[in-house]
Amino acid sequence: MQLKHRTVVALLVGLYFLASGLSWITERWLPAISGSQGNLRLTLRHFHQPDEWGVTPQSLKIVFGTVKEGGSGVFAPAWLYEDLLVAYFILTVLLFVRITHTVSTATDSQRAQGVGVDFVLRYTTIVDRISQSPADARILEIGPGIAGLARFLHKHTVIGIDDRSISRSMLPQNLKMIQGSALNAPFSDSSFDYVVCVDVIEHLPSVEREGLIKESLRITKDTLFIAAPSGMMSARVERFLYAVLAPFYRFFRKDLSFLREHIEKGLPVKEDLLRAITTSAPGAQVSTSRNVNLCVWVVCMWLDPLVRWTTKRTGVTWLSGVLRPIARLLSFSPEYRTVFVVSKVAHRNP
């Protein structure tokens, strides 16, 4: 009987997570239970309309076992009634977390978004290198979103170029954003000491990737950093995770559209990126390094909603301090992401 009880509770909670993937249900309907003693009614009440959709034990008898009708309604076995109440309590807590998270997001849109473990790890190699440069070094990041590299380089000013329109109020003070296309960057040759392109190139169609590399090298004076997930194994894992995690992320009002873009555009091949780099800058010095083991990345994705929720309230400094010393230990084969470091120093010192 204990196993039966646990199965029912787990099933009902699991169904709610499944419903989270159907936003029209979880955004408009509120689960409720009514009834007394054995007379039970399970309802989804609409937030804005008096309509409600009800499920009685009678309609669930095929799944949950025998029920019987009485003069005052439908009666359920005592064990079913108790288990539904337990499940209802769990669902109420989950719904409360979801509603309060939604309200806090809507009423505090100017607060910096939280970041996950993988966000910190993808930048560690680059931050370790650039943080040693002078404070007046000219740094450009391609596609930083609302923060990117600037979160970790508080003593430096970062110029960002992004084709999206981003409100200035959402950006850190040391990030100066320019709206435009990095495929035709509005900068002269060798304008920046460092150019950074992290998890951007895989969002472009394959025919545009070489063009982005060529344009990035044109405006780079010293070093270009490119970080991108690559390889067939990473692509397969992404497809699986997208199918499994999308409903889980929607419950936390998060989005996995970036994985959908990866799947649609296809992850780059490491050899193709190296070929594009050497073609665009034949004399450049190129090195590669692993960034985040594939299994570690999967764990990061499962933890991401909780870690984002935490760093939104506490900041990212503590997380960076924890992860940077162990980043290399977490970057063994098979890797999820590859970091390319392209130095043009050879051009100036033949």
pLDDT tens profile 141-156: 999 988 899 999 989 9
Quick check: pTM over 0.75? no
Which residues on adjacent β-strands are paired with residue 158? 139, 175
End-to-end CA, the chain: 79
Q: Identify the pLDDT of residue 254.
A: 66
Q: What are phi and psi of 188, to 5 degrees?
A: -80, 170
Q: Identify the pLDDT of residue 312.
A: 86
In the predicted structure, residue 97 carries a pLDDT above the cut 90: no
Q: Identify the pLDDT of residue 14.
A: 65
Which residues on adjacent β-strands are paired with residue 343? 223, 285
Confidence of residue 93 (pLDDT cuts 50, 70, 90): low
Closest CA to 25 of 106, 95, 96: 95
Q: In this predicted model, what pLDDT tens digit does every residue of 45-88 receive, in sequence order?
A: 444 444 444 444 444 443 444 444 443 344 445 555 566 566 66
Assigned superfamily of 117-348: Vaccinia Virus protein VP39 (3.40.50.150)
Q: Identify the pLDDT of residue 87.
A: 62
Domain ranges of the chain: 2-107, 117-348
Find out whether the peptide bond into 144 is cis, omega within 30 degrees of 0: no
Helix (H, G, I), strand (E, B) or coil at 188: coil
Contact 27, 44 (CB under 8 A): no
Q: What is the arithmetic mean of pLDDT over 19-27?
A: 44
Q: In this predicted model, what pLDDT tens digit does every residue of 108-122 receive, in sequence order?
A: 333 457 789 999 999
In the predicted structure, residue 217 carries a pLDDT above the cut 90: yes
Q: Identify the pLDDT of residue 73.
A: 40
Q: What is the arithmetic mean of pLDDT over 28-52?
A: 44
| Crossing angle (nearest 10°) for helices 2-20 and 232-251 | 100
Using a pLDDT cut of 70, give the percent of the chain over it: 64
Sequence-distant (6+) residues with CB within 8 A of 239 are 263
What's the rounded Cα separation, in Å, for the pair 187 and 305?
37
Q: In this predicted model, what pLDDT tens digit does every residue of 158-203 receive, in sequence order?
A: 999 998 888 887 888 899 999 999 999 999 999 999 999 999 999 9
Higher pLDDT pick, 234 / 313: 234
Higher pLDDT pick, 12 / 114: 114
Query: Among 186-190, 254-258, 299-303, 308-312, which is the least confidently predicted range?
Result: 254-258
